[in-house]
Structure 1
Amino acid sequence: MPDLTPEADGFVLHHYAGSPFSQKIRWLIGWHGLHWHSVNVPAIMPKPDVVALTGGYRKTPFLQRGADIWCDSALMAKVLDAHGRADATLFPAATRGQAETLAQWADSSLFWCAIPYAMQPAGIGALLGNPPPEVLKAFAADRAAFTPDMRRPTVADAGAALRTYLARLEQMLSANPGGFLLGSQPCIADLSAAQSVWFVRRAGSPVADVLQPFTLVAAWFDRVAVFGEGQASRLSSADAIAQAHAAAQAGRHVPVHVAQGQGLEAGAAVQVCATDCGRDVISGELVGLTDDEIVLAREDERAGRVHVHFPRLGFDVRAAR
């Protein structure tokens, strides 16, 4: 395992404690033994410091290194994995296709039944720390704006789907003596699936009782949770913005390019938004575009010229109107 220091590594995770996708990334950081800087972001809008760095991306978490910002945990995981342990990866070549496909299912289908099931009245108090009614109302309004066109399942439907998916995970683990979903070594699919189990567990009894029949899932979850969260040092959002500004002034950005045949040219004014939820539009200058990634350059008064990276899957990019 490399001997990384906060100064040598320089990654900043913008997150909050109760965010499932943040927990996925914290486990990844822990498994790699990375040092990192921790910036806590608000759970609901407004998020002015987040907007300064991302241009309006409202999902949590996002990753920063200097003047480069990575959005979406699928892309963040690949970036961090590439800077982690030299002797192992969470994207093993032999099972990478399976791992990423399974992770995509876990980040979508599994996630979107676990969340509404856990957020039922019997669980929401434990998940949000027993907030007063006005806080609950503000949280509900924020999440309604986050998923305006999504048809939310009933608790009964979400529970039925969750039990079905847990049974599938249980069967996978039963057929595989290695201890993880695709073998004896963990992969990105393990983290993606475990984040939903983590969220349901946090809801406490009686909500979390849905997990009790699935003993192999429970043992597997414990093997993931032991990864920990690495070594974090606190950083304010103002300091993170200052780091971005300093790197931008020095012209330090990760090399990117616009590949041929992608339908857009370098320097084009474009707009990017997620295709599932949190579909806030981020505008900027196109500086990177491949089958895997979209990169916008955008100017901010406080952060300077930042490069905001998105995965190609799950995001829409088109010329600005």
Structure 2
Amino acid sequence: MAAPSSIGVHVPQLILHHYPSSPFSEKIRAILGFKGLRWSSVVIPVIMPKPDVVALTGGYRKTPFLQIGSDIYCDSALIADVLERLAPTPTLHPPESAGLTRIVAQWADSSLFGAAVGHIFQPAGVQSLFGHLPPAHIKAFLADRAALSAGASSPGMNPQEATGALRLYLQQLDARLADGRPWLFGQAPSLADFSVYHCLWFVQQVKAVSGILDEFPRVKPFIDRFQTFGQAAPEQLSSTEAIEIAARGRPEALADEPFQDARQGLAKGARVKVSATDYGKDPVEGEFVLSRPNELAIRRTDPRAGELVVHFPRLGFQVRAAE
């Protein structure tokens, strides 16, 4: 059954910068459908260079990111929190999963996703993904992903190890659904379900290696349930139009609240760099303007996009004084 629609709730223009085959983007697209939210779509390049992305994010290059006027929200975990705040019904955190939703979501976005990617990038999966592309395109993609993974906090699993881990995770997920529950924590979907879904959706897209899903009879129907939410056709925008929207706006006023990092000597207004701690560690530099237990934000100025505030989740990111 489709979830109740949030259409009618006053929500600002939501601009999702993504591309169709991005699994973390699929997570957010599914949440937008679940909440019945209208959104605008900017399709960004799959590989660098991404000059219009950098104009808005300041250097962050992962996909997707969400733009609301002159505020830029990086990482799907934070984007999900923003959408929940703007449209709390239907919720991503039903009572039966209280306290566990975010923990399982974090596991899925890291461990389950890593196993899914490693499984996909076995020879048959690579051929399925890239076999139709010219060799130069394949070389450019692999070089881009090697740069993205440079300095990763832990090495990825080889395909054999990844397939073994993915099969074990699928067994555990299948067992969780064995009592007939439609979702991992009961009768209502949660953030944990969406985070698991996007990893399995990614495997499902690569037909040469998606047969592993057929081994688990409760997992395939679980994936299919996400299609019941539907996804309203978004308004299509160019990256130039998105930059113009940012330039015309002003970042949302930030609450005057205690500064989480003041104890570490990073006060409000300090010049800092924020970077991911796992991979894609390109730093974003600016003025430190928000420091909450679960969120960081910096203010920066771009010649084309104007004044922006770029937001990051606390988990998975670090903030350091700029040299």
1:255 corresponds in structure 2 to 254
1:131 corresponding residue in structure 2: 133
Deviations 1:151-172 (A, max 9, x none): 2322111100100110110111
1:94-128 per-residue CA deviation (whole Å, 9 max, x = no partner) reads: 42321110000000000001012112231234435
Q: What SS does the corresponding residue of 2:66 show, helix, strand or coil? A: strand
Q: How does 1:103-182 map to 2 (within 5 A)?
A: 103-128=105-130, 130-150=132-152, 151-175=155-179, 177-182=180-185
User: 1:24 — aligned with what?
Assistant: 27
For structure 1, which segment, 223-232 or 286-295, has the greater mean C-alpha deviation from structure 2 after superposition? 223-232
Matched, 1:196 2:195: no
Q: Is the 8 A contact 2:260 2:292 kept in 1?
A: no
Instruction: Give the corresponding residue for 2:219.
Output: 217
Q: Is residue 245 from structure 1 mapped to residue 247 from structure 2 by the alignment?
A: yes
Take 2:8 and 2:131, find their aligned partners in 1: how far apart are those partners? 35
Q: Which moved more, 1:257-266 or 1:221-230?
A: 257-266
Deviation at 1:83, TM superposition (A): 2.0
Residue matched to 1:97: 99
Per-residue deviation at 1:31? 0.5
Identical aligned residues as a percent: 45
Alpha-carbon contact 2:259-2:268 (below 8 Å) kept: no
Q: TM-score, normalised by structure 1?
A: 0.93
Aligned AA (2:163): G
Q: Which residue of 2 aligns with 1:80?
A: 83
Q: Which amino acid aligns with 2:242?
A: A
Could you tell me which runs of 5 or more consecutive residues in structure 1 were left unpaired when the two chains were aligned: none
Distance 2:255 2:204 in 1: 40
Measure how far apart 1:149 and its partner are.
3.4
* Aligned 8 A contact 2:272 2:322 in 1: yes
Name 1:273's counterpart in structure 2.
275
Query: Is residue 63–residue 76 contact of structure 1 (8 Å, CA) maintained in 2?
Result: yes
CA distance 1:310–1:214, change in 2 (3 Å): same
The alpha-carbon deviation at position 254 of structure 1 amounts to 4.5
Q: CA deviation at 1:148?
A: 1.5
Instruction: Report how many aligned residue pairs link the two structures.
Output: 314
AA aligned opposite 2:52 = D
* Residue 3 in structure 1 maps to residue 40 in structure 2: no
Residue 34 of structure 1 contacts residue 231 of structure 1 at CA under 8 Å; is this kept in 2?
A: no
Q: What residue identity is the alignment partner of 2:70?
A: A
One-letter amino acid matched to 1:244:
A
After the TM superposition, which residues 31-42 of structure 1 pair with which residues of structure 2 at under 5 Å, given as runs? 31-42=34-45
Question: 1:173: how far off?
Answer: 1.0
- Indicate conservation of the 8 Å contact 1:181/1:189, yes or no: yes
RMSD of aligned Cα (Å)? 1.7
Question: In the alignment, which residue of structure 2 is the partner of 1:67?
Answer: 70
- Conserved 8 A contact 1:271-1:283: yes
Change in 2 beyond 3 A, CA 1:258/1:51: farther
CA distance in 2, matches of 1:270, 1:170: 44
Distance 1:316 1:235 in 2: 32
Asked if structure 1 preserves the Cα contact closer than 8 Å seen for 2:74 and 2:312, the reply is: yes
SS in structure 1 of the partner of residue 311 of structure 2: strand
Change (3 A) 1:257 1:281: farther
Deviation by residue 1:133-185 (Cα, 9 ceiling, x = unmatched): 1111000001101111342322111100100110110111114x321001100
Contact residue 299 and residue 305 of structure 1 kept, 8 A: yes
The equivalent position to 1:183 in structure 2, one of 179, 182, 186, is: 186
The Cα of 1:72 is off from its aligned counterpart by: 0.5
- What's the secondary structure of 2:39's corresponding residue? strand
- Alpha carbons 1:284, 1:296 under 8 Å: kept: yes
Post-superposition Cα deviations, 1:32-77, rounded to whole Å, max 9, x if no partner, equal 1111000001111110000000000010000000000000000000
Cα separation, partners in 2 of 1:313 and 1:12, compared to 1, 3 Å: same
**What SS class does the counterpart of residue 221 from structure 2 fall into?**
helix
* Mapped contact 2:260–2:293 kept (Cα < 8 A): no
Kept after mapping to 1: 8 A contact 2:19/2:25: yes
Q: CA-to-partner distance for each residue in 1:2-38, whole Å, 9 max, x for gaps?
A: 4349x95300000000000000000000001111000
The answer for the alignment partner of 2:291 in structure 1 is: 289
- When structure 1 is superposed on structure 2, of 151-160 and 189-198 the one drifting more is 151-160
